[in-house]
Amino acid sequence: MNANRLNVAAALAQARARGIALLDARLMLARLMAASRTWLIGHDEAFLEADVASHWRAWLERRAGGEPLAYLLGQKEFRGLLLDVTPAVLIPRPETELLIDWADALLGDSGSRKSVVDLGTGSGAIALAIKQAHPNTRVVATDTSPAALAVAQGNAERLSLSVEFIEASWWQGLEGRRFDLVLANPPYVREDDPALDALGHEPRAALTPGGDGFGALAAIIAGAAGHLNAKGWLVLEHGFDQAEPVRALLRQAGFEDIETRRDLAGHARATGARRAARP
């Protein structure tokens, strides 16, 4: 028995001692050992190879330091799609699936070929989930960050989903383009929100537009009518306390059928509206 060799049970005990949740620890160890979580559960005595043990120590350090699990694993599941993620992109959140449910209902199974844009796509989560569920749609995804676009493009290629990627800052870069449906999960956290402290590993520009948190939402709403086909829809994710101001911006911009929906946690999380038939 070699005292220097680490087995699964001892490795998981190290994680627990560092305050790392058992599920996270199992996912990390399973990945490093190229094993399944189920296999791990039955193999407490299995030894980690030396290179695995050294990776494990590095990952324990990073996870205990608050680095999100998704960045360690390099992957996050969204709407049944396994997406590559790097620190260049926001980690897709479950509440963003609300936008996909909404878009599903709007796109229906109509035979007509609808066009959809995902503004500020990050990992590509929204755009790819739409293309997966509605192969007949034409999907465009934008981001202002070339590094994010590279991640999104890589995901599209790996998943064999055809999406057009454009480097653009909200509507700047989309001149002359019109869509039937505009979707966005833009940065909406206010600059001085203490919640940002816990999100320090994610790209700040994906979380906050600065100031009161409304800059990106307002820019998208202000330009949306000029990029929507008649009766086209705009659906935006926003903060739990931002629904009223977002609705007011949509009213001012002449939108109709304004509706806010709640996420699974009960927070008002997305607001959608329809462009008037005649502006």
Which stretches of the chain bind ligand GLN, using CB under 6 A? Answer: 93, 185-189, 199, 207
In the numeric block, the tokens 């996270």 are attached to 24
Which lies closer to ligand GLN via its Cβ, residue 40 or residue 206? Answer: 206
Work out how close the CB of 187 gets to ligand GLN at its nearest, in angstroms, rounded to a whole number: 5
Backbone angles phi and psi of 244, in degrees to 5: -60, -50
Which helix (H) or strand (E) element contains residue 27?
A: helix 22-32
Which lies closer to ligand GLN via its Cβ, residue 188 or residue 214? Answer: 188
What would the DSSP string read from start to end of 189-219? Answer: S-TT-GGGGGGTTS-HHHH--STTS-HHHHH
Work out how close the CB of 216 gets to ligand GLN at its nearest, in angstroms, rounded to a whole number: 8
Q: Is 162 helix (H, G, I), strand (E, B) or coil?
A: coil
Work out how close the CB of 7 gets to ligand GLN at its nearest, in angstroms, rounded to a whole number: 36
Which residues face 273 on adjacent strands?
Answer: 234
Q: What is the largest CA-CA distance in the chain?
A: 79
Which lies closer to ligand GLN via its Cβ, residue 7 or residue 260? Answer: 260
Which lies closer to ligand GLN via its Cβ, residue 5 or residue 204? Answer: 204
Tokens at 185, concatenated: 């999960």
Q: Are the beta carbons of 130 and 195 closer than 8 angstroms?
A: no
Look up residue 1 and give its amino acid.
Answer: M
Which lies closer to ligand GLN via its Cβ, residue 48 or residue 143? Answer: 143
Q: Are the beta carbons of 29 and 71 closer than 8 angstroms?
A: no
Which lies closer to ligand GLN via its Cβ, residue 62 or residue 201? Answer: 201
Work out how close the CB of 26 gets to ligand GLN at its nearest, in angstroms, rounded to a whole number: 24
What does the alpha-carbon distance between residue 232 and residue 277 come to, in Å, rounded to a whole number? 9
Look up residue 170 and give its amino acid.
Answer: W
Work out how close the CB of 214 gets to ligand GLN at its nearest, in angstroms, rounded to a whole number: 12
Work out how close the CB of 5 gets to ligand GLN at its nearest, in angstroms, rounded to a whole number: 40
